Amino acid sequence: MSECIFCKIVDGSIPSIKVYEDEHVFAFMDIMPLTKGHTLLIPKKHHENVYDMSSEEAGQLFSVAPKIAEALKASFNPAGLNLLNNNGAPAGQSVFHFHLHFIPRYDQTDGFKASWLTKEKQYTNEMFKEYADKIRENLNK
């Protein structure tokens, strides 16, 4: 049996409060929520992060994302919604099974804050063009 906590939730050996399930994905309430309605959406098949997923598998998961978002909106009427995914420990990933957080936002004092410290003065247009070229080159692989 897998040691992955989310795999154990999918196979039922760890209980969860299910929100949605189909043959490919599983959504459930986060037991350490940031706000009312905080929900996780995961692929049923174990994938450590987005780099592990095929386009088809990612498509199956992301095709359900609007359904979860709309249900949260209809249920709780949040002022906004954050979709959050962390890939790798340096990015803040703590459970190494791909998961997408749906964090309904009610106001700016609800306990969640993303720090966004831009560095636009460190980059030139030439650097942006070089980076874009490199990304485009690797998109075709």
Provide the residue type at 120 as one letter: E
Q: Find the helix or strand (DSSP H, E) in which 42 lies.
A: strand 39-43
**How confident is the model at residue 110, as a pLDDT?**
85
- Residue-range domain boundaries for the chain: 5-114
Q: What share of the chain in percent tops pLDDT 70? A: 99
Per-position DSSP letters for 70-121, written without gaps between them: HHHHHHH--SEEEEE---SGGGT--SSS--EEEEEE-STTSS--------GG
Whole-prediction pTM = 0.92
Q: Which of 38, 47, 99, 101 is catalytic?
A: 99
Q: Would you state the pLDDT for residue 59?
A: 97
pLDDT value of residue 136? 94
Average pLDDT over residues 13-41: 97
Mean pLDDT of 10-28: 97
pLDDT in tens, 99-140: 999 999 998 888 888 888 898 889 999 999 999 999 999 997
pLDDT at site 117: 87
Active-site residue, 38 included: no
Fold of 5-114: HIT family, subunit A (3.30.428)
